[in-house]
């Protein structure tokens, strides 16, 4: 069975409003968190595990969230980042996991901007017979991902194949593949097809939102708390290109409090192609190598220098690259505050 059988079990329990963190005294979410720290784990199993952790009411680590965001990104012209690099089933699981997080807590509301591109790509890949890649499991996962639009407040428009009509075509195709015993093959594929046929997907389930959830035979009376709208901060993200600042860009961003600069950069990349970027992953986080079409060059010492400033910088009177102007941490460790200015300046060092 693709993915993790333990994750599949956790998803099933959560859908039934059974607590995966306390099944006869066993927490089956904890091993999923531990296994995701293993470098040999496949991308599909990683994303499937995170989906199970989210649906089961577990806590997502920051490292896992950043990895998911990397998987969900797309940039034209960069072959290593195009969605064709992924199978549709992987991209569907990644998108469903982001949708689960988006609906689970107000601090993840910014993830709405990370789902439009992958969902549009998935919708565009539906074949004329209604399937995706002619594969039962892949089609079931793709349909569940597209059903996100029916179970959330997301309101962007997909291609015609991603509408309900496209889902209906998939249902017709499913019926041609059902076996005499009523199944669609193995347990994993059958359960995913049934989930797709229900017009729901895993993101629509979350154990924390179950009213009166049964827990080991004991009825829990505590309801999930009502989540208020997140407090937002506004800051300006700027780019300067060249020693003489031949190109300058400024983008005002509104993000929830405690959003990292890296997460804000992902939002900026969705809003303006000039802010699309590439990174290298280091032990301490993401290192920015390219923004727009400008890549660091070790010959000539052209690098991206990051400034954190309390007031808007003047290109005709640029800030000195010294403390306290230069940012004191990496993009994963910096958290913009209201009214601040973050400047990436591509210059000689």
What domains are defined for the chain? 5-215 (1.50.10.20), 232-348 (2.170.130.30)
Structure tokens belonging to residue 345:
């300046």
Tell whether omega for the bond before 102 is within 30 degrees of 0, i.e. cis.
no
**pLDDT for position 9:** 83
Q: What is the 3-state secondary structure (H, E, C) of the chain?
A: CCCCHHHHHHHHHHHCCCCCCCECCECCCHHHHHHCCCCCCCHHHHHHHHHHHHHCCCCCCHHHHHHHHHHHCCCCCCHHHCHHHCCHHHHHHHHHHHHHHHHHCHHHHHHHHHCHHHHHHHHHCCCCCCCCCCCHHHHHHHHHHHCHHHHCCCCCCCCHHHCHHHHHHHHHHHHHHCCCCCCCCCHHHHHHHHHHHCCCCHHHCCHHHCCCCEECCEECCCCCCCCCCCCEEEEEEEEEECCCCCEEEEEEEEEECCCCHHHHHHHHHHHCHHHCEEEEEECCEEEEEEECCEECECCCCEEEEEEEECCCCECCECCCCCCCCECCCCCCCCCCCCCCEEEEEEEEC
**pLDDT for position 218:** 34
Task: Give the mean pLDDT of 150-170.
Answer: 63
d(CA 88, CA 25): 37
Task: Give the mean pLDDT of 78-107.
Answer: 76
Better-predicted residue by pLDDT, 158 or 240: 240
Cα torsion 290, 81, 271, 236 to 10°: value is -30
Reply yes or no on whether the pLDDT at 224 is more than 70.
no
Percentage with pLDDT > 90 across the chain:
28
Lowest mean pLDDT among 86-90, 91-95, 233-237, 290-294: 86-90
Reply yes or no on whether the pLDDT at 336 is more than 90.
yes
**pLDDT for position 39:** 62
Reply yes or no on whether the pLDDT at 345 is more than 90.
yes
Better-predicted residue by pLDDT, 306 or 84: 306
Task: Give the mean pLDDT of 244-254.
Answer: 93
Assign 219 a pLDDT band (cuts: 50, 70, 90).
very low
Lowest mean pLDDT among 27-36, 56-65, 261-270, 336-345: 27-36
d(CA 108, CA 224): 17
pLDDT in tens, 175-197: 899 999 889 988 888 888 888 88
pLDDT in tens, 272-294: 889 999 888 787 788 999 999 99
Better-predicted residue by pLDDT, 315 or 41: 315
**pLDDT for position 173:** 92
Better-predicted residue by pLDDT, 227 or 206: 206
Lowest mean pLDDT among 4-13, 184-193, 260-269, 310-319: 4-13
Q: Is 198 exposed, middle or buried (CB count within 10 Å of its CB: 0-12, 13-18, 19+)?
A: exposed
**pLDDT for position 230:** 62
**pLDDT for position 37:** 66
Reply yes or no on whether the pLDDT at 161 is more than 60.
no
Better-predicted residue by pLDDT, 222 or 272: 272
Minimal CA–CA distance to 336: which of 244, 253, 266? 253
**pLDDT for position 159:** 54
Reply yes or no on whether the pLDDT at 76 is more than 70.
no
Compute the mean pLDDT over every residue in the chain, rounded to the nearest whole number: 81
**pLDDT for position 88:** 87
Assign 326 a pLDDT band (cuts: 50, 70, 90).
very high
Assign 118 a pLDDT band (cuts: 50, 70, 90).
confident
Minimal CA–CA distance to 269: which of 43, 51, 78, 47? 78
């Amino acid at each position: 069975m693709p993915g993790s059988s333990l994750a599949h079990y956790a998803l099933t329990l959560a859908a039934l409003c059974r607590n995966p963190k306390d099944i006869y005294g066993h927490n089956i979410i904890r091993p999923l968190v531990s296994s995701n720290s293993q470098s040999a784990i496949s991308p599909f199993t990683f994303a499937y595990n995170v989906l199970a952790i989210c649906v089961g009411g577990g806590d997502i680590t920051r490292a896992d969230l950043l990895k998911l965001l990397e998987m969900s990104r797309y940039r034209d012209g960069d072959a290593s980042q195009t969605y064709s690099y992924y199978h549709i089933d992987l991209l569907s699981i990644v998108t469903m996991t982001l949708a689960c997080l988006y609906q689970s807590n107000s601090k993840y509301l910014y993830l709405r901007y990370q789902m439009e591109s992958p969902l549009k790509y998935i919708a565009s890949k539906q074949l004329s017979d209604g399937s995706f890649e002619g594969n039962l499991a892949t089609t079931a996962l793709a349909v569940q991902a597209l059903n996100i639009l029916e179970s959330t407040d997301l309101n962007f428009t997909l291609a015609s194949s991603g509408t309900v009509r496209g889902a209906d075509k998939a249902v017709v195709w499913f019926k041609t593949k059902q076996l005499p015993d009523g199944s669609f093959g193995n347990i994993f594929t059958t359960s995913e097809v049934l989930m797709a046929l229900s017009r729901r997907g895993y993101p629509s389930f979350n154990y924390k939102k179950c009213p009166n959830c049964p827990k080991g035979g004991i009825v829990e009376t505590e309801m999930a708390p009502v989540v208020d709208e997140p407090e937002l901060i506004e800051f300006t993200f700027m780019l300067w290109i060249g020693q003489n600042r031949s190109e300058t860009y400024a983008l005002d961003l509104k993000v929830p409090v405690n959003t990292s600069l890296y997460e804000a950069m992902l939002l900026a990349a969705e809003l303006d192609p000039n802010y699309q970027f590439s990174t290298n992953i280091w032990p301490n986080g993401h290192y920015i190598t390219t923004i727009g079409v400008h890549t660091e060059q070790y010959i000539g010492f052209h690098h991206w220098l990051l400034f954190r400033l309390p007031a808007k910088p003047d290109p005709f009177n640029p800030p000195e690259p010294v403390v306290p102007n230069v940012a004191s941490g990496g993009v994963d460790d910096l958290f913009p505050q209201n009214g601040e200015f973050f400047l990436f300046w591509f210059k000689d060092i």
